[in-house]
A and B are shown apart, each in its own frame.
Chain A
Amino acid sequence: DTAVSQTPKYLVTQMGNDKSIKCEQNLGHDTMYWYKQDSKKFLKIMFSYNNKELIINETVPNRFSPKSPDKAHLNLHINSLELGDSAVYFCASSQVGLSYEQYFGPGTRLTVT
């Protein structure tokens, strides 16, 4: 059973389009995250979210918005896609607590043409 799953694995789209990436975790974790990994392999946190509070990285454009229908899901919606949005997007989850590691999904490779 996959702990953290994402769909789609690959996404190719044109500039200006709106797209969504879905994420689900079956670990019973309270907190979920979205990360962006660019071509230089830096992993940058975009959002951390539980069912009560959303923490936004201030550098993330407001074209990106997380949507959580329930505790096990955190989807990422992107409006007006730009070339610079091309990257691998990872969803992750963890238990609440400082010592708990994050479990990552397999990633979604987004290519904007």
Chain B
Amino acid sequence: GQNIDQPTEMTATEGAIVQINCTYQTSGFNGLFWYQQHAGEAPTFLSYNVLDGLEEKGRFSSFLSRSKGYSYLLLKELQMKDSASYLCAVRYDGGYNNNDMRFGAGTRLTVKP
């Protein structure tokens, strides 16, 4: 299988920084995505990593270590609206255009005042 593991829940304070970790099986790895999903809504794309290192996008950054099968999503200057689930998704070799996408169960982040 291609287990994708992330913490179930996290809590942080408004204005703080939070790091959400994701580990995955490395065999067949072909790219990693982070999505944000507010309750009752659709997932929306946040970031994409395929090479080792850090990708920064405003308040959000994502890091990847392919050899360790590890990624994290870093959220800075937390706002109340950042309360949501954050889904780690890994693309594996296989399927049409290597499009076998597997999602983790998501990390539900609660931002408190």
Contacts and interface: CB of A to CB of B under 8 A. Distances in A.
Chain A interface size, as a band, is 20 to 34
A48 B96 contact: yes
Interface residues of B, number: 25
A105 B97 contact: no
A98 B50 contact: yes
Interface stretch (A36-44, A68-76, A77-85): A36-44
B96 A104 contact: no
B98 to A, nearest CB: 6
A42 B105 contact: yes
A106 B38 CA distance: 11
Contacts of B91: 98
Given A48-B99, A101-B45, A102-B101, 14 more contacts: A4-B42, A41-B106, A42-B103, A44-B103, A48-B95, A50-B96, A90-B43, A96-B97, A98-B30, A99-B48, A103-B45, A104-B42, A106-B42, A107-B42
Q: Which 4 A-B pairs have the closest CB atoms?
A: A101-B45, A104-B42, A43-B103, A55-B95
Interface of A: 4, 31, 33, 40-45, 48-50, 53, 55, 90, 96-99, 101-107
